[in-house]
Amino acid sequence: MNGVAAAPAATGQRRGKILFWLRAIAGHAALGGIYLAAYVGLDWLSFFEEFRGLDVTLWNPQPALTLILIIQRGTAYTPYAPAAPFLSDWIVRDFPLSLAGTLAYDGIFAVGYVALAFLMRQFRSITADDARVQDMVWLVSTIVLGCLIISSACAETLELLGIIKEHRVRQIIGAFWIGDASGILAFLPFFITWPDALRTWRRGTSRQRIIDLSVFAFTVAFALFIVFGIDDARSPGFFYLLFIPVCWAAVRLGVGGAATACVTVQLVLVLTLDLLDYPPQEFRPFQVMMLALTGTGLLIGTVITQRGRAEAALRAREAELSRLGRVTSLGAMGSALAHQISQPIASVATYAHAAQRMVAAEAPDLGRLNEVLSNIAGDARRAGEILRRLRDFIAHGGQQTQSIDVTALLQRSVRTARESESGHVLDIRLRAALLPAVMGDELQLEQVFLNLLRNAIDATAQIPAGRRRIAIETTATDGAVEIAIEDNGAGIAANFEPLLFEPFETTKATGMGLGLSISRQIVESHGGKLWYERGEGGGARFVVRLPSVKGALP
Ligand code: ADP
């Protein structure tokens, strides 16, 4: 039985393996094909000011593709590297050398860039997220030095093949070196960092994005106008103006922005030079300046990215510290917990006692009993909910944010306060304006109002029953709502005022001194403020100010 079942399983496994390999080979070939097409396309685009039909031009960015393919996709793509210049020589230049010459020249060229790619595989991590200045310095120096070595080897080969004379070797090395180094320096970091640059750019508001693009486009156009439109010396005299857009992009978007700006400026510059028919001897100083601009832009961008990362790490540390702070005040929270849930637990005990008495009666009123039992369930749920929120608060200060109708919340708090202080004759007046909605955690804000109301009730306890007053007034101010709770108690002694919001500061025999400190913490975590003012009649007045949702009615 087992053998019969195992046979189809083994066949299925084999088929799965074959499919896997076929897919891998197809993927490999497809990417290789894209690389070859892009290489030939970029070579065709940048094939001007060439030296005797050879691939020695003053701007040669396509080796960046070879580097990026091997650096990011792995050494398995190495065989495509010699095929690319060979294909280019055929399609773009129609084989300017003999077959042996082409094979020797392209072979050395490909071996040079493959070796450079192997060396640079350690820079794979240069993305906007982990760019470091020292890595960028290494990347720039490796490219500049690597291009010098490859250009020297290729020029020597051309001399050995008898294609160039000895006195031209240095000139060829110069053109080759600058052309390849400036092209690669612009394109390689761009290929590595553009997804990060795009992500950073998208993070901005649409207004910021429009400003960024406009500043960049305007400064590039302005610089080109000055360099080519006004300065007729045909020299890169005002070239330094092109540092403005590159530095702008570097400062705004970090290394990814700098790399994108360098590629764009280089493309625009090369196209302009070509359109204006600049001869190679005048073209070259621009390319040398471009090399300096690219190197500088990349370094500034990397510094900005590194600083941004350090700031983010600092913010994360601050958040962690604040979390630790909350955990450290766990003891205080424990007392707070007792303070907050003592009321529902006391109600549960009272209701349970009442229920016991009802059951013991001769003819129990089942309707009333049911009511009392649902009150018990409601209070137990409430205590559980307070515990859950407190646990959340300790874990991550998390709030269950929702749109809140402040007036309805105040009405509910007044009802709860009245119920819990049933022995106390109270005159609580709520004068509520039409308020916009507030975003926040309803239960936490209810705790704040209940704390303030309970304090006001305590403060008026000494006053004869008919004269106790608590006034709640709400107003909508610009972008916020204010809730003032004022009582006609004795107010707060001047020497106690500075301690009001300090934890464990109380003047009550059974007080814990936590209500106001926790309330302030809650209000501030909602982006609001809680403060004390002396009331007009000498009593205490506490004001809660909460940011409102603009124009949103609850
Ligand atoms: P507790 O009520 O447990 O003492 P709180 O932090 O809520 O803790 O209040 C701290 C102190 O502030 C109180 O002990 C009281 O002296 C004073 N206080 C708060 N509200 C009022 C008020 N409305 N009128 C007078 N004193 C008040």
CA gap 163, 116 in Å, rounded = 26
Residue of 469, 472, 496, 516 to mutate, ligand 1, most atoms within 8 A of C-beta: 516
Contact 550, 501 (CB under 8 A): no
279-294 exposure pattern, b = at least 16 Cβ within 10 A, e = fewer: eeeebbbbbebbbebb
- Token readout for 365 is 């009123």
| Alpha carbon of 507 to ligand 1 centroid (Å) | 7
Residue 451 CA: nearest ligand 1 atom is 7
Q: What is the pLDDT of residue 204?
A: 79
CA gap 416, 414 in Å, rounded = 5
Q: Is 508 in the pocket of ligand 1 (CB under 6 A)?
A: yes
Q: What is the pLDDT of residue 472?
A: 93
Residue 501 CA: nearest ligand 1 atom is 6
Residue 14 CB-density burial (10 A; 0-12 exposed, 13-18 middle, 19+ buried):
exposed
AA identity, residue 457: I
- Token readout for 418 is 């009245």
AA identity, residue 275: L
Q: What is the pLDDT of residue 3?
A: 47
Q: Is 487 in the pocket of ligand 1 (CB under 6 A)?
A: yes
Residues of the chain with confidence (pLDDT) below 70? 1-8, 47-58, 122-130, 231-235, 318-337, 339-340, 389-400, 420-426, 504, 510, 550-554
Q: Where in the chain is the domain with CATH 3.30.565.10?
A: 400-554
Q: What is the pLDDT of residue 1?
A: 42
Residue 456 CA: nearest ligand 1 atom is 23
Residue 18: how many other CB atoms lie within 10 Å: 10
Distance of CA 224 to the CA centre of its chain: 34
Let me know the angle formed at the C-alpha of 463 by 458 and 467, rounded to the nearest 5 degrees: 115
CATH 3.40.50.920 assigned to 400-554: no
AA identity, residue 150: I
Count of H helices and E strands in the chain? 14, 7
CA gap 391, 388 in Å, rounded = 5
AA identity, residue 201: W
The residues near 458 (Cβ < 8 Å, ≥ 6 apart) are 489, 508
| Alpha carbon of 389 to ligand 1 centroid (Å) | 23
